[in-house]
Structure 1
Amino acid sequence: DCVQLNQYKLKKEIGKGSYGVVKLAYNEDSEQYYAMKVVSKKRLMKQCGFLRRLPPQGSNTVFPLEKVYKEIAILKKLDHPNVVKLVEVLDDPDEDGLHMAFDLMKRGQVMEVPTDEPFTEEQARFYFRDIVLGIEYLHYHKIIHRDIKPSNLLLGDDGHVKIADFGVSNEFEGTDALLSSTAGTPAFMAPEMMSEHGRRFSGKALDIWAMGVTLYCFVFGRCPFYDTCILSLHNKIKNKSVEFPETPLISKELKELIKRMLDKNPETRINIPEIKILVKSMLRKRSFSNPFECLGRRAERSMSAPGGLLTKISKEGSREELEDLYEDDSYTESKE
């Protein structure tokens, strides 16, 4: 029951979305499996109403397919251990299906929310470090993700998290994106997105807020703000202080980190460099480097990655600063 698409054999369905499906794909050339996202262009246009009517001339309406092609353009630029890798795009103008081959993440999303089995603080710290590295890389390359949440964080074979789904992401120029549109998942949206119409807000701060909600989910198994009514949810996000359950117990340092990420004021909300300092302090100066990455690959990545990974080696070959980055402790899941 396989469908042949160039060198790929499309097998069973492993996921589903609004405009298409994700299929297991076998590449006969490389003899490896991939996740093939298949987007129906007709269904995408129809669900957005574009087959029935065209937008008025001069409007700022973005065609649905343009959003998909924008996502592809962003993904093609990215190469980082904590960001999902787009391998290939197959798009025949005469065919309905737009095919995107991604590295296969067999272990799926890092966590389903809500859950009665949240992570230990050690597990949460390990996965959160991956998110920090991934977001730092995206912001350095002038990309705001806009939809960070556990279901968009996939586990690789090495046990590390990779950021996925760039469907609502934004590129920017300068030091930060100034946004005014609403996008993302309601329970992970920052309070400034719910302010008066037309107000512009920092893109980087939106990602930080969503990271804070995600970290809260990691240790408590649920979102800090939740309501079945969207208006009540918005009200809680804007006005209610974050509360911490009595159990499980978490450290004061982790509480402080979550509080600073969930600061209602984007102007005073903690930023990525400050998060790294706080977490490094929590970990007694343990590194943010990837423990599964060889030294050569790390040195190569240091030329294109931000923050602590932007390390120059002196002519004398001094590696004092690099050695500090390489110190690490990797989290090993217990086998039951």
Structure 2
Amino acid sequence: MRPGAAPPPVSRTRRLPELTLPMPQRDPSLAVPLPLPPPSATSTPTPPSSGGQTLLTPSISDLERVRRIGSGSGGAVYMVRHRPTGRIFALKVIYGNHEDAIRRQIRREIEILRTADNPFVVRCHGMYDHAGEIQILLEYMDGGSLEGHQISSERLLADVARQVLSGLAYLHRQRIVHRDIKPSNLLVNSARQVKIADFGVSRILAQTMDPCNSSVGTIAYMSPERINTDLNQGIYDGQAGDIWSFGISILEFYLGRFPFGENLGRLGDWASLMCAICYSNPPEAPPAASREFRNFIACCLQKDPARRLTAVQLLQHPFITQLQPPSSSSPSHP
């Protein structure tokens, strides 16, 4: 038990073996509520960029949809062009009629996300509440996601890991927890940069839906203590949870398959998937991998969240420091 943690209760009612996912309550200390942005779709100022220049959220009427670049049951993503400047963005459209309270919460989160200014985090430029749809304007990543990629070169994988860890370290310093790190949320562009995407809003929406309606793939990357809140005395550390999800994703890139079994959890076998995550030994890198990589994965996939290294600590791991590419600013495409 962690120092200072409350002792577990003498008795605890066992949960029924239903295929539902108990979600921990959101820790309000992880995001500071900010004033709501204007509800209209007109241009509003965003925080200064790293170059000190104040940017404006374009009016939605100035955005031209070029083509759809992604879709799912919850929404779609479009490549859009800002007519006055020709600049390309990504516009994420979230389907559904959400209650006013959810919309207000999303606006607050968007204000927080708009302050994120880091080269390893996809930039959020604003939100439109337009025609009953929630639309979010994002930095466009022309290489798409890393989902389905196999990265067998440890040197390339170390650089991908370095970039993702740099983004996570930044978010965690800002007291922002991603909670949905997985390959489909790691995007790459033609400049060979890897950036973290899709945090904040997806977490809010997930809390308003039946967990069985959410993506099985998302469940697959959750840490044991998040799935089963009886573990770790009911304490959930969101930053440690991000590290578990990161470790599973990096190991998946190396193996070219999901670490708990290629089909486990992908065919709707929720019970087997959650039992494997919570009660099986953590996945390991294969013996053919380097000693540094095997240890790196082990440092991420500790069942006890207190034993997982932080993003800052992992950036100092020999797997990262000994396998830096010749120019870390221009890594090879994974």
TM-score (norm 2): 0.69
Superposed displacement of residue 231, structure 1: 1.8
SS of 1:144's equivalent?
coil
Amino acid in structure 2 at the alignment position of 1:220 = L
Matched, 1:33 2:88: yes
Shifted more, 184-193 versus 195-204: the winner is 195-204
Q: 1:72 aligns to what SS in structure 2?
A: helix
For residues 80 and 205 of structure 1, the distance between their equivalents in structure 2, rounded to whole angstroms, comes to 21
Secondary structure (helix, strand or coil) at the match of 1:109 reads coil
Aligned length: 259
Q: Deviations over 1:273-309 (max 9, x none)?
A: 3212214x6533959xx843xxxxxxxxxxxxxxxxx
- How many angstroms apart in 1 are the aligned matches of 2:297 and 2:186? 18
1:235 matched residue in structure 2? 275
Equivalent position SS for 1:162 = strand
Aligned to 2:184: 151
Q: Is the 8 A contact 2:128 2:134 kept in 1?
A: yes
Q: Which one of 107, 120, 141 corresponds to residue 82 of structure 1?
A: 120
Question: What corresponds to 2:64 in structure 1?
Answer: 9
Corresponding position: 1:99 with 2:138: no
- Report the CA distance between 1:106 and its aligned residue: 1.2
Deviations 1:244-269 (A, max 9, x none): 4758x311111011011100001212
Higher relative contact order by CA 8 Å / sep ≥ 6: 1 or 2?
A: 2
After superposition, give the CA deviation of every residue in 1:86-132 in whole Å (9 maximum; x if it has no partner).
1233334xx223332212111100232xx6x4431111111110110
Distance in 2, matches of 1:127 and 1:286, equals 10
Tell me the equivalent position of 1:254. Answer: 293
More divergent stretch after superposition (227-236 vs 136-145):
227-236
Q: Once the two structures are superposed, what CA deviation does each residue of 1:129-177 show, in whole Å capped at 9, x if it has no partner? A: 011000000000000000001100010221111101113458xxxxxxx
Residues 40-119 of structure 1 aligned to structure 2 (within 5 Å): 40=95, 43-45=96-98, 63-92=101-130, 95-112=131-148, 117-119=150-152
- 8 Å Cα contact 1:44-1:64 kept in structure 2: no
How far apart, in 2, do the equivalents of 1:79 and 1:63 lie?
27
User: Which of 253, 257, 270 does residue 218 from structure 1 map onto?
Assistant: 253
Q: 2:155 touches 2:324 (CA, 8 Å); kept in 1?
A: no
**Aligned partners of 1:70 and 1:231: how far apart in 2?**
35
Q: Quick check: 2:286–2:294 contact (8 Å CA) kept in 1?
A: no
Secondary structure at 1:6's aligned position in 2?
A: helix
Name 1:207's counterpart in structure 2: 242
- Gap regions ≥5 residues in structure 2: 1-58, 205-210
- Cα shift at 1:83: 0.5
The residue identity in structure 1 corresponding to 2:222 is: M
Residue 278 (str. 1) matches residue 317 (str. 2): yes
* Aligned-pair CA distance for 1:209: 0.5
Q: CA deviation at 1:234?
A: 1.7
Equivalent in the alignment of 2:8: none
Instruction: Give a deviation string over 1:16-58, Cα, whole Å, max 9, x none.
Output: 1334322221111221221112234xx243xxxx6xxxxxxxx
SS at match of 1:16: strand
Compared with structure 1, are the counterparts of its residues 9 and 191 closer, same or farther at alpha carbon in structure 2 (3 Å cutoff)? same
Report the 3-state secondary structure (helix = DSSP H, G, I; strand = E; otherwise coil) of the residue aligned with 1:77: coil
Unaligned 5+ segments in structure 1 are: 51-61, 171-180, 293-329
Aligned to 1:135: 168
State how far apart, in whole Å, the 2-side matches of 1:111 and 1:20 are: 18
For 2:169 and 2:248, the matched residues in 1 are separated by 17
Measured on the aligned residues, the alpha-carbon RMSD in Å equals 3.1
CA contact (8 A) 1:145 1:168 kept: no
Alpha-carbon distance between aligned partners in 2 of 1:206 and 1:270, rounded to the nearest angstrom: 11
Give the match for residue 187 of structure 1.
220
When normalised by structure 1's length, the TM-score is 0.68
